[in-house]
Chain A
């Protein structure tokens, strides 16, 4: 009964490839997020969707494209992977105001680009 799940947990791929990371939440939350944690452990927001609508789109290369087929799923597709994309990617979800603003994170996907 995992609340926020991500697949895969580890992803090793070569430069130039295209890959996707999937996220699902069973909490009934309306809002989902993607965060990136770099090698120095710094966490930064990338995208957010509220009920399938994109509401946050930070300064992220357009090689990154989120997709939300329904409010329980938020996927991240990355084209033409670069070495600098190596990081841990976290999905999170939140009920949103007025219900609550706490964000619950998935286990993370460690992406290594070689």
Chain B
């Protein structure tokens, strides 16, 4: 079975600082995908970034990067130069790539950016 753990229920960061949101996962499948989603207070789920288990390089999308450490089973999200609009819940998720790709989510981290 797959499991995602986000150990930081909440984080507070000063605007313009970089922030790292932690995510560890557990799976026995060799072929899997890792995702990060953002949920602002308005409630929608916004896809941020994806990393496949066989990808050699860490994924990057604008100010978002995924620090993928396969041996440690971690997939931390790094947001560079944080902005007030980054304040939201952030969810790490994974899916097995071999069958129906259902997402298994972590508990989420509430990020607050202070001016």
Contacts and interface: CB of A to CB of B under 8 A. Distances in A.
Interface in A18-43: 31, 33, 35, 40-43
Q: How large, as a class, is the contact surface on chain A?
A: 20 to 34
Interface string A44-84: 11001010000110100000000000000000000000000
Interface residues of B, number: 23
Contacts of B37: 105
Interface string B76-115: 0000000000000101010101001111110110000000
B43 A96 contact: no
A101 B50 contact: yes
Classify the interface of chain B: helix, strand, loop or mixed: strand
B95 A104 contact: no
A22 B63 CA distance: 34
B102 A48 contact: yes
A102 B50 contact: yes
Contact of A55 (B50, B97, B100, B105): B100
Interface of A: 31, 33, 35, 40-45, 48, 50, 55-56, 58, 88, 90, 92, 94, 96-97, 101-108, 110
13 contacts: A31-B100, A31-B101, A35-B103, A41-B89, A43-B103, A45-B103, A48-B102, A103-B47, A103-B101, A105-B46, A108-B43, A108-B45, A110-B43
